[in-house]
Structure 1
């Protein structure tokens, strides 16, 4: 017998005949016409060089060779069925540590809801949020030291899986009852008030400054910091204002800030959730990625 010429469907025919001992009933069991069943039986006999099933008054009786093959055929069919069946995954039984690269702003806004959901659904899963290092993030997703990355990325390799995480736009925040802001924030007032800027660079220039330069304007940067997390609290307790992604708006309002639209146009941008195809194809990976997107949607 040559395995290269074996049709897996013939094993299904064998199993049905062994169980039913009748060609017609075996065909009905697996959805094959009687004529096709007879043809398949002939091919099986050729493959195994044995009659396999012989007609008797009691039906199609298996030969000694068929009796020997039957448990092996059933095991093969069971293994193939298990291989093709969707993998069973119980989040409540998961016990894993998952590393996610994300900006501090994402952690601030996403983590509260995400951790509540994990406590209910998958209490054994531990999340390890780390800073986004854009020079290394794609390689770390490939080697598995990172499972997910959230942020704005350029030139994402085609083999990685990308899903939209959020659409962002800039807004301005200022303390409640700011002495200089009455009903609305004008462009001239925006440029005159002292700003706090989140930047990882030392040049005190951000995307906003490039847009203001096009308008012939310049703002006054009074302070910079390397994280978004302290900005809302600082603004709420000073006369500084800040231009931040709109996802920080709810945090800022809880801290005691008002949120204003910018008095000039700035393009929106997209945040993405990125993973390896291998991680997402795993039931655990799909569960975590889908839960993150659902929590972000509800945030």
Structure 2
């Protein structure tokens, strides 16, 4: 059959054909389809013209299908069954889902949800896979090119075709070990903090839009010298620096992780809130907004929606993120 012939094939004709086959009568088929008998007879004639076959012959007990009609019936039934499935609401079998989700997220945000997410996937979606990379200035390109499925970061603006959703806000803190001169203080002032070396969990060259560096720039304009002695995205490097007496500015979730790990290793570590000079000038009072982003193409993807909503749920359940 040529393509121009296929374009003449109305789905309603196929439904009419199968119904006549099942009922063995035009009148009964018309009643079942809530049509008039003349209307269904016209459809039958169109089918005969289309397939160049009588399709049915009259017998004393009703209509008898021709050999061609019997062949067509076996071909048409799976087509209609497929069309029925096509019209049914899409569903997602999470337990048997076999798909890899690729995330770009910094350790500060990752720490807030990765453990409960791994536990959940192990039980509820055992065939789900993940690839996790560190969020960077190239992550937007990864989302646009389909290399990254989900990005999580303190975003300011996003390129076109990328959707975002505010997960919540997170706070910063300062970590000191017993080797730091200010370890025994009850609180820290900004003047005291910058009188000693400190490290940050951001690299300015790669994170020009981060709220942290916007805050540093404002404080430097007030005469505070806030040049970090160490910028690193490696928590292992930061841990070594803290152990040797350097202060570390990081998110509260990573701060708690530091305290747990380093205390377990025999190093005394304390967490301090940010000095009031910082919180008073920082955007959102040093409560950084955390956004999750994805490409428009994945917005209505059932599996993608399930996964990103699960990540949002787990992040909002953590004590380190305040929901919006």
TM-score, length of structure 1 as denominator length: 0.74
Contact 1:178/1:239 (8 A) holds in 2: no
Cα offset, 1:113, TM superposition: 1.0
Query: Hey, what does 1:207 align to over in structure 2?
Result: 214
1:266 to 275, 282, 293: 282
Measure, in 2, the Cα distance between the counterparts of 1:202 and 1:282: 35
Measure, in 2, the Cα distance between the counterparts of 1:124 and 1:102: 22
Measure, in 2, the Cα distance between the counterparts of 1:115 and 1:296: 13
Measure, in 1, the Cα distance between the counterparts of 2:31 and 2:302: 35
Alignment of 1:1-299 (within 5 A): 2-23=5-26, 25-27=28-30, 29-30=32-33, 32-34=34-36, 36-54=39-57, 56-85=59-88, 89-135=92-138, 137-153=139-155, 156-160=158-162, 162-173=163-174, 179-181=184-186, 189-194=189-194, 195-201=198-204, 206-213=213-220, 216-218=222-224, 220-221=226-227, 223-227=229-233, 229=235, 240=247, 242=249, 244-245=250-251, 248=254, 251=257, 256-259=270-273, 262-268=278-284, 270-278=289-297, 283-299=302-318
String of CA shifts for 1:191-239, please: whole Å, max 9, x gaps.
4323543331379x8221223246x352555643313746699779968
String of CA shifts for 1:232-254, please: whole Å, max 9, x gaps.
99779968473x44655765786
Measure, in 1, the Cα distance between the counterparts of 2:85 and 2:191: 65
User: Which runs of no fewer than 5 residues in structure 2 stay unpaired?
Assistant: 207-211, 261-268, 319-324
Contact 2:183/2:270 (8 A) holds in 1: no
Measure, in 2, the Cα distance between the counterparts of 1:143 and 1:220: 37
Measure, in 2, the Cα distance between the counterparts of 1:58 and 1:191: 102
**Does the C-alpha gap of structure 1 residues 251 and 24 become closer, same or farther in structure 2, counting only changes over 3 Å?**
farther
String of CA shifts for 1:92-120, please: whole Å, max 9, x gaps.
33444443211111222221111011111
How many positions carry a matched residue from both structures? 288
Measure, in 2, the Cα distance between the counterparts of 1:149 and 1:73: 45
**Does the C-alpha gap of structure 1 residues 233 and 256 become closer, same or farther in structure 2, counting only changes over 3 Å?**
farther
User: Which runs of no fewer than 5 residues in structure 1 stay unpaired?
Assistant: none
Q: CA RMSD in A?
A: 3.9
String of CA shifts for 1:35-81, please: whole Å, max 9, x gaps.
54344334333333444345544334333332221111112222333
